[in-house]
Amino acid sequence: MSAANKLFTWKKPYELKKTDTLFLQAMQENVRHHYENSPDYARILDEKGFHPDDLREYDDLRKIPFIPTLYFKRHTMFSVPEKRLLIKATSSGTSGRRSLIGFNGSSLYRGLRMVLSLCKYHRLISLKPVHYIILGYEPARSNPSAITKTTFGQTLFAPALSRDYALKYTKEGYKLDLEDLKQKLIRFSQSKYPVRMTGFPAYTYFLLKQMKEEGICVKLPKGSLMSLGGGWKQFYAEKITKQDFYELAEEVLGIDDQYTVEFFSAVEHPVLYVDCRCHHFHVPVYSRIIIRDVDSLEPVPAGQVGLINLLTPMVDSVPLASVMTDDLGILHDEKCPCGVDSPWLEILGRVGIKDIVTCAAGAQEMLSAKER
Ligand SMILES: [Zn+2]
């Protein structure tokens, strides 16, 4: 079995120290594979004077030349023949430049094992049927965005009695319909089956705020969950803290913040991060994170702000071994009350690059259009 497959089938998803050697081996395999199969990647490594043989020990991981996520928005790089890609996903569902990433069989297998292991750990898998309220896009052939696929994927962890979407697909394109979701939430609060809400925080917040203003407060059945994914970036302008958000959810839907789960992932780094009960994104065994100084790009110690560099050997089809985001973050190594001892990532947001339009920003645009 390859080291990568061993890593992605590791039983306990947060045993970081125990998997350091395995992680290094998987990265050695991965970097070598991309070097030998992607001429673009080989050229980048050659230009930086790095050869896969230079990756000897764990501390060498920081030397792997990282590729900026912006690069994937402008170039398509595959390390396997395109016909072997089973799924293609893009980074943005609405507007802006998109990264096109493809997954072959081995990459998908690892992703699936990772998702199952994490969802089992965080007790997200249930056999009890639920009603899904999805604050996101209804799947459609014309929408290849990864967020739509992962949001739909989340509705598979418990049997679905129903799926209702905020953005309904019509002949004229996507239409925002929150009124229908409010009625459904009122109805489901009387049901004996739990509700699972999932989707963009922006839409979820907007819906909760409207319900509060209209005096609609319900108590969703026991076992109801709210999961959030797709970024908080749009909240910087609104100055909404996560705490305010959780309090609003409790007031309007009766969902305690222990039942609010946040996900974080990126097309260019498809590792899933799930927050713990203290709402921290602990680093799972499948990845390692290096925070780098904004100017020198040298690694900084835990607790200091810098650019987030994400490493994973998950994907064989695209050279995603080490990617550099344009987000600032902090890696914390202080003890977390949840008991997980792997460090956790605090995402502070985007460095002031104006021309980046994310799907979250797209969501904000659609909301403003609706308000006008
Ligand atoms: Zn924790």
How much distance in Å is there from the Cα of 209 to the middle of ligand 1?
28
How much distance in Å is there from the Cα of 335 to the middle of ligand 1?
8
Neighbours of 148 (CB within 10 A): 22
Please tell me the predicted confidence (pLDDT) of residue 148: 63
Distance CA 351, CA 40 (A): 27
Mean pLDDT computed over every residue of the chain: 87
Residue 327 contacts residue 283 (beta carbons within 8 Å): no
H or E element that contains 208: helix 201-213
How much distance in Å is there from the Cα of 273 to the middle of ligand 1?
12
Please tell me the predicted confidence (pLDDT) of residue 144: 62
Enumerate residues 6+ apart whose C-beta is below 8 A from 152.
139
Distance CA 223, CA 221 (A): 6
Please tell me the predicted confidence (pLDDT) of residue 372: 38
Torsion, Cα of 318, 72, 147, 102 (10° steps): -30
Please tell me the predicted confidence (pLDDT) of residue 101: 83
Please tell me the predicted confidence (pLDDT) of residue 51: 98
Look at the block and give the residue holding tokens 């002031």.
Answer: 352
pLDDT in tens, the chain (372 residues): 999 999 999 999 999 999 999 999 999 999 999 999 999 999 999 999 999 999 999 999 999 999 998 888 888 889 999 888 888 777 654 445 677 888 899 999 999 999 999 999 999 989 999 999 998 888 877 766 666 666 666 777 889 999 999 988 888 888 889 999 999 999 999 999 999 998 888 888 889 999 999 999 999 999 999 988 766 555 555 557 788 889 999 999 999 988 999 888 888 999 999 999 999 999 999 999 999 999 999 999 999 999 999 999 999 999 999 999 988 999 999 999 999 999 999 988 775 544 333 434 444 454 454 443
* Amino acid identity at 237: A
Give the 3-state secondary structure of residue 219.
Answer: coil
Distance CA 175, CA 189 (A): 25
How much distance in Å is there from the Cα of 352 to the middle of ligand 1?
29
Distance CA 68, CA 201 (A): 26
DSSP letter string, 117-172: HHHHHTT---SS-EEEEEEEEPP-TT--BHHHHHHHHHTTSS-EEEEEEEEEEETT
H or E element that contains 33: helix 20-37
Distance CA 188, CA 148 (A): 24
Please tell me the predicted confidence (pLDDT) of residue 92: 57
How much distance in Å is there from the Cα of 278 to the middle of ligand 1?
5
Where in 254-321 does DSSP place strands (E)? 260-266, 269-274, 281-282, 288-292, 306-311
* pTM listed for this prediction: 0.85
How much distance in Å is there from the Cα of 261 to the middle of ligand 1?
12
Please tell me the predicted confidence (pLDDT) of residue 200: 81
How much distance in Å is there from the Cα of 267 to the middle of ligand 1?
24
Tokens of 355: 């021309």
How much distance in Å is there from the Cα of 275 to the middle of ligand 1?
7
How much distance in Å is there from the Cα of 86 to the middle of ligand 1?
35
pLDDT digits (tens, 9 = 90+) for 353-365: 443 334 344 444 5
Distance CA 329, CA 204 (A): 24
How much distance in Å is there from the Cα of 339 to the middle of ligand 1?
6
Please tell me the predicted confidence (pLDDT) of residue 150: 62
How much distance in Å is there from the Cα of 353 to the middle of ligand 1?
31
* Amino acid identity at 98: R
pLDDT digits (tens, 9 = 90+) for 246-303: 999 999 999 998 899 988 888 899 999 999 999 999 999 999 999 999 999 999 999 9
Please tell me the predicted confidence (pLDDT) of residue 263: 87
pLDDT digits (tens, 9 = 90+) for 22-41: 999 999 999 999 999 999 99
